[in-house]
């Protein structure tokens, strides 16, 4: 039996009815085998990325692995965005890629390429797959297929990739002699829910938070039963929206673009039970400390790596499959007797005051989608693109039990909706399939209209066209003074109705204020159709969260008195938001929490040329820096009355001194001043933050050997001041100088500081006299 025939028969044997792909030379054997194998069919897409999205849509709606296929080289690399989407959203998809013959593969030779279109797709795909392998031994094909299927669906699901050389595909193998996969999925363990029951009973304002992991576990009915029995408010992540569809106690989606009523609910809770959601910053806001700050957080997740990333201090974690957890908690539901009537009344008040989508202006897309909800049947699937259209639909579509909402969550890939809808339609289960997209997303996989037209797939495409890339345009208006480069300027969209007509697809355009007479007729047609909604270019997604604010304080901002009236817990103050911003910037420049190295700040001279760099001193950098002890031994105290001699620095003393400045100092950032060649010439830092005043002090200004470059310390000081104003938003910058150090006082005067006050001994906790100086740009003169 030819290997490619074996692969086709294996896939058909797992219940896979369709493979989505695009033809190419390296997969022609597979294409022919699929054609000759009963019970399975290749669906030809017009781009490999679309094939990847279609396989994902199929897997999501079917509840079984999808399969996509592409040839070697550009065909395989075109799959990557779709592979990443499946990986981040935990969707089991098997990707099959063709590869050059094994005798054409470069192996370890130092060549870029040997065979035509040879590309190491396994290495490229490895970071966004659960398993990726090149199969070179035909006798291993059964084992690798079974292993890949097992890995894709076990634990936290996700994509796998098998790279199949052409000569492997055409080899003959005896099927009965092939060894299978000997490993089995780990057993599902019963989680201990005793502490969860205790916390629910002690709570007066509990909230259930539904994530996409509930659906991945096949546990949506268990969740719905639990929500009904506990009768407490339910909120959701974007990926958990359809889990809560039609629930009486569902409040809506939380997060940056969530409903105000849902965000007020989670903000004022005293207990959040989050099941199957990773609580990313789009849910919590950029300052996790502000999220549900009066609540105890219980996190249930199957992935131990997700739990290792702690969202809130003292959160209670349960590593478990969502279905196993919900089943166990349901068995104890009779023991839960929390009195939440008053709390539910409060939440109903939020819902009445802040219905979703009521804040949008002319051509309100939220209201359009709300009206469309009445035309969505109980078994229909809605596929959302990425952009403003995604958030309008998430805020305003009213789904019922049985509906599916499919979107690219973690990857956030534009162009997702149309090919996803193709895959979702082939997954069957009855009902219509709708693709909701924008003018930007529609242009990314527009070619898939050919697939609808060719197979007469009755997908209905709803294009919300505001002639702009609205999500980024909104970001530019907020943070970049309305410079709309490449979102409005140098951007355009075609007449989608004419394009649909060219493919032979029914279409209509609905303008603001027009009655969409053909809408119901087109949505219920057995043919594909495109409906374009012409919107004003200025349409917004509202409400929307700004960086640094808690989720309940979205734009457009409510009057502060109204915000306070809605709050049971203490409102999150401006000072706390500013402190979170400072820490986030410090972490970014120190390289904390990421794989990126610390950032450097350039120090320009008077001509703008780089005179030096400011390099953040970190726990790692202070150890690795060569010659730091030598440099410190030459630094001197600027007060000759206290210490006239340079001090001698030992490695041990240096480590202790730097530890005191760096380790555990979240509110201090110390920079080493490095000459362009890397030589350390001094240091300078910021500390003493007052978050109410948005002020700080210049700290630890010390110079080593006199630099060969005159004025270098002045240049470094000015670079730091400009950075503090720009990156940190500092309103006031001060420093303290010993009163008997006139040289230092003159230096700071030349660089824009004025005397603010004199501090007497003991006033600053020390027996020294200080002059407190304040930076004023107006007083800046030539630095020296």
pLDDT tens per residue, range 697-712: 998 676 665 655 778 8
Q: Say whether the peptide bond before residue 59 is cis (omega within 30 degrees of 0).
A: no
Nearest to 464 by CA among 398, 366, 556, 376: 366
pLDDT-derived band at 580 (thresholds 50, 70, 90) equals confident
The two structure tokens encoding residue 468: 């702009």
Q: Quick one: pLDDT at residue 620? A: 64
Q: Quick one: pLDDT at residue 286? A: 87
The two structure tokens encoding residue 98: 């063709």
Q: Quick one: pLDDT at residue 469? A: 97
Q: Quick one: pLDDT at residue 701? A: 74
Q: What is the pTM of this model?
A: 0.78
Q: Quick one: pLDDT at residue 681? A: 80
Return d(Cα 505, Cα 503) in angstroms, integer.
Answer: 6
Coil vs helix vs strand at 96: strand
Q: Quick one: pLDDT at residue 708? A: 59
Residue 48, pLDDT above cutoff 70 = yes
Rounded to 5°, angle at Cα 333 from 328 and 338: 135
Instruction: For the chain, give the mean pLDDT.
Output: 89
Q: For strands 296-301 and 433-438, give the pairing.
A: unpaired
Residue 664, pLDDT above cutoff 60 = no
Return d(Cα 366, Cα 257) in angstroms, integer.
Answer: 13
Asked whether 267 and 292 are in contact (CB, 8 A), the reply is: yes
Give the tens place of pLDDT for each residue, 497-539.
999 999 999 999 988 666 656 688 889 899 999 999 999 999 9
Residue 465, pLDDT above cutoff 60 = yes
Q: At what angle do helices 3-13 and 28-36 cross, to 10 degrees?
A: 50
Return d(Cα 460, Cα 145) in angstroms, integer.
Answer: 35
Q: Quick one: pLDDT at residue 646? A: 47
The dihedrals phi and psi of 149, each to the nearest 5 degrees, come to -60, -40
Instruction: Write the Ramachandran bin of 698: left for phi over 0, alpha for psi from -120 to 50, otherwise beta.
Output: beta
Q: Quick one: pLDDT at residue 555? A: 92
Residue 643, pLDDT above cutoff 60 = no
Residue 633, pLDDT above cutoff 60 = no
Asked whether 617 and 658 are in contact (CB, 8 A), the reply is: yes
Contacts of 243 (CB under 8 A, 6+ apart): 210, 212, 214, 215, 220, 223, 224, 236
Return d(Cα 130, Cα 267) in angstroms, integer.
Answer: 35
Instruction: Write the Ramachandran bin of 429: left for phi over 0, alpha for psi from -120 to 50, otherwise beta.
Output: left
Residue 320, pLDDT above cutoff 70 = yes
Q: What is the mean pLDDT of residues 751-774?
A: 78
Return d(Cα 667, Cα 582) in angstroms, integer.
Answer: 8
Q: Worst-scoring range by mean pLDDT, 13-22, 377-386, 620-629?
A: 620-629
Residue 636, pLDDT above cutoff 60 = no
Token pair 């997303």 is found at 441
Count Cα atoms within 13 angstroms, Cβ side, for 257.
Answer: 18
Please give the domain boundaries of the chain with CATH numbers for all domains.
3-177 (3.40.50.970), 194-353 (3.40.50.1220), 365-534 (3.40.50.970), 585-780 (3.40.630.30)
Q: Quick one: pLDDT at residue 784? A: 37
606 vs 414 pLDDT, higher one: 414
Taking CB atoms within 8 Å and a gap of at least 24, the contacts of 511-514 are: 512/362, 512/363, 512/536
Give the tens place of pLDDT for each residue, 268-285.
999 999 999 999 999 999
CA 687, distance to chain mean position in Å, is 31
Contacts of 438 (CB under 8 A, 6+ apart): 385, 387, 388, 389, 463, 464, 465, 466, 470
Sheet holding 460-465, edge to edge: 404-407, 381-384, 433-438, 460-465, 529-534, 506-510
* % of the chain exceeding 70 in pLDDT: 88
Q: Quick one: pLDDT at residue 645? A: 46
Contacts of 1 (CB under 8 A, 6+ apart): 9, 172, 173, 174, 175
pLDDT-derived band at 32 (thresholds 50, 70, 90) equals very high
Q: For strands 506-510 and 381-384, give the pairing.
A: unpaired
Q: Quick one: pLDDT at residue 362? A: 57
Return d(Cα 395, Cα 367) in angstroms, integer.
Answer: 10
CA dihedral defined by 24, 29, 32, 34, rounded to 10 degrees? -100
Q: Quick one: pLDDT at residue 672? A: 84
The dihedrals phi and psi of 262, each to the nearest 5 degrees, come to -70, -40
Return d(Cα 178, Cα 176) in angstroms, integer.
Answer: 6
Q: What is the mean pLDDT of residues 710-718?
A: 88
The two structure tokens encoding residue 30: 């597979």
Give the tens place of pLDDT for each residue, 141-198.
999 999 999 999 999 999 999 999 999 999 999 999 999 998 887 777 789 899 999 9
The two structure tokens encoding residue 655: 């480590």
Q: Quick one: pLDDT at residue 313? A: 79
Residue 117, pLDDT above cutoff 80 = yes
Question: In 237-277, which ranges are E strands?
Answer: 250-253, 271-275
Nearest to 226 by CA among 298, 330, 323: 330
Q: Quick one: pLDDT at residue 662? A: 55
Largest Cα–Cα distance in the chain?
94
Return d(Cα 29, Cα 439) in angstroms, integer.
Answer: 38
Residue 256, H or E segment? none
Coil vs helix vs strand at 18: strand
- Alpha-carbon radius of gyration of the chain: 31
Q: For strands 404-407 and 66-70, give the pairing.
A: unpaired
Quickly count: other Cβ atoms within 10 Å of residue 379's Cβ: 13
Environment class of residue 116 by beta-carbon count within 10 Å: exposed (0-12), middle (13-18) or buried (19+)?
exposed
Residue 356, pLDDT above cutoff 90 = no
pLDDT-derived band at 107 (thresholds 50, 70, 90) equals confident
Return d(Cα 601, Cα 696) in angstroms, integer.
Answer: 18
Asked whether 660 and 632 are in contact (CB, 8 A), the reply is: no
Residue 623, pLDDT above cutoff 70 = no
b or e along 727-738 (b: 16 or more beta carbons within 10 Å of the residue's beta carbon)? bbebeebbbbbb
Looking at residue 492, the DSSP 8-state letter turns out to be -
Return d(Cα 609, Cα 341) in angstroms, integer.
Answer: 67
Residue 67, pLDDT above cutoff 90 = yes
CA-CA-CA-CA torsion sign (276, 279, 210, 436):
negative
Q: Which residues pair with 485 in a beta bridge?
A: 489
Asked whether 105 and 99 are in contact (CB, 8 A), the reply is: yes
Q: What is the mean pLDDT of residues 678-693?
A: 84
* % of the chain exceeding 90 in pLDDT: 66
Sheet holding 296-301, edge to edge: 250-253, 234-236, 206-210, 271-275, 296-301, 316-319
Residue 637, pLDDT above cutoff 70 = no
Contacts of 130 (CB under 8 A, 6+ apart): 87, 151, 152, 158, 159, 160
Q: At what angle do helices 260-267 and 341-353 cross, to 10 degrees?
A: 150
The CA–CA distances, whole Å, from 476 to 231, 281, 556 equal 42, 20, 16
Q: Quick one: pLDDT at residue 198? A: 95
291 vs 765 pLDDT, higher one: 291
635 vs 396 pLDDT, higher one: 396
Residue 116, pLDDT above cutoff 80 = yes
The two structure tokens encoding residue 755: 């005397």
Q: For strands 770-780 and 732-738, give the pairing.
A: antiparallel
The CA–CA distances, whole Å, from 171 to 96, 323, 343, 441, 449 equal 17, 43, 67, 42, 37
Residue 404, H or E segment? strand 404-407
């Amino acid at each position: 039996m030819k290997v490619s025939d074996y692969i086709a028969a294996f896939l058909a044997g797992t219940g896979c009815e369709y493979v989505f792909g695009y033809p190419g030379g390296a997969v022609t054997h597979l294409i022919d085998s699929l054609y000759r194998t009963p019970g399975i069919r290749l669906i030809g897409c017009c781009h490999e990325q679309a094939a990847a999205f279609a396989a994902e849509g199929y897997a999501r709606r079917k509840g079984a692995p999808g399969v996509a296929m592409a040839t070697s080289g550009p065909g395989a690399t075109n799959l990557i965005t779709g592979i990443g989407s499946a990986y981040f959203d935990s969707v089991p998809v098997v990707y099959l890629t063709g590869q050059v013959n094994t005798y054409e593969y470069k192996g370890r030779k130092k060549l870029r390429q040997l065979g035509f279109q040879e590309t190491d797709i396994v290495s490229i795909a490895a970071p966004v797959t659960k398993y990726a392998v090149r199969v070179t031994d035909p006798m291993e094909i059964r084992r690798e297929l079974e292993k890949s299927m097992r890995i894709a669906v076990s634990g936290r699901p996700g994509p796998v990739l098998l790279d199949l050389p052409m000569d492997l595909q055409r080899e003959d193998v005896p099927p009965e002699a092939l060894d299978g996969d000997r490993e089995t999925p780990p057993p599902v363990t019963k989680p201990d829910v005793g502490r969860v029951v205790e916390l629910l009973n002690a709570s007066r304002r509990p909230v259930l938070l539904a994530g996409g992991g509930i659906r991945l576990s096949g546990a949506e009915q268990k969740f719905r039963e639990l929500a009904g029995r506990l009768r407490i408010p339910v909120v959701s992540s974007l990926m958990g929206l359809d889990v809560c569809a039609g629930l009486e106690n569902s409040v809506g989606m939380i997060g940056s673009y969530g409903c105000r009523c849902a965000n007020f609910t989670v903000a004022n809770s005293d207990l959040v039970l989050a099941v199957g959601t990773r609580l990313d910053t789009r849910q919590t806001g950029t300052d996790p400390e502000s999220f549900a700050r009066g609540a105890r957080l219980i996190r249930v997740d199957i992935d131990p790596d997700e739990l290792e990333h702690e969202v809130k201090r003292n959160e209670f974690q349960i590593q478990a499959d969502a279905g196993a957890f919900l089943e166990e908690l349901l068995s104890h539901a009779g023991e839960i007797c929390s009195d939440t009537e008053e709390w539910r009344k409060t939440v109903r008040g939020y819902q009445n005051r802040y219905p979703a989508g009521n804040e949008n202006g002319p051509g309100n897309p939220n209201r359009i989608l709300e009206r469309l909800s009445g035309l969505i049947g109980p078994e229909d699937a809605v596929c959302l693109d990425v952009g403003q259209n995604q958030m309008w639909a998430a805020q305003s579509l009213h789904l019922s039990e049985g509906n599916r909402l499919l979107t690219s969550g973690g990857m956030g890939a534009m162009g997702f909706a149309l090919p996803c809808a193709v895959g979702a339609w082939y997954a069957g289960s009855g009902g219509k399939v709708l693709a909701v997209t924008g003018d930007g997303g529609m242009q990314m996989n527009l070619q898939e209209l050919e697939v609808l037209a060719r197979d007469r797939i009755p997908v209905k495409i709803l294009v919300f066209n505001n002639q702009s890339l609205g999500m980024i345009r909104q970001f530019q208006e907020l943070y970049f003074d309305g410079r709309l480069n490449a979102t409005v300027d140098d951007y355009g969209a075609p007449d989608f109705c004419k394009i649909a007509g060219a493919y032979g697809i029914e279409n209509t355009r609905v303008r603001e204020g027009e009655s969409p007479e053909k809408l119901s007729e087109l949505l219920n047609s057995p043919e594909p159709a495109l409906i374009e909604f012409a919107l004003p270019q200025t349409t917004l997604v509202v409400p929307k969260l700004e960086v640094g604010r808690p989720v309940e304080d979205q734009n457009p901002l409510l009057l502060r008195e109204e915000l306070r009236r809605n709050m049971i817990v203490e409102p999150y103050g401006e000072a706390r938001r500013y402190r979170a911003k400072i820490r986030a910037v410090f972490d970014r420049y120190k390289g904390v929490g990421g794989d990126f190295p610390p950032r450097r700040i350039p120090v320009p001279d008077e001509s703008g040329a780089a005179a030096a760099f400011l390099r953040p001193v970190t726990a790692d950098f202070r150890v690795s820096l060569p010659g730091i002890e030598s440099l410190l031994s030459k630094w001197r105290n600027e007060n000759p009355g206290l210490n006239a001699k340079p001090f001698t620095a030992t490695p041990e003393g240096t480590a202790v001194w730097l530890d005191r400045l760096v380790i555990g100092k979240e509110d201090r950032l110390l920079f080493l001043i490095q000459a362009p060649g890397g030589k350390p010439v001094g240091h300078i830092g910021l500390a003493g933050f007052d978050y109410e005043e948005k002020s700080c002090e210049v700290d630890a200004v010390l110079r080593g050997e006199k630099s060969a470059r005159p004025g270098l310390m002045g240049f470094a000081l000015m670079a730091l001041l400009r950075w503090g104003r720009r990156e940190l938003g500092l309103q006031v910058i001060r420093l303290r100088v010993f009163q008997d150090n006139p040289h230092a006082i003159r230096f700071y005067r030349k660089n824009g500081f004025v005397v603010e006050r004199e501090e007497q001994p003991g006033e600053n906790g020390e027996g020294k006299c200080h002059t407190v100086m304040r930076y004023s740009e107006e007083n800046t003169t030539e630095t020296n």
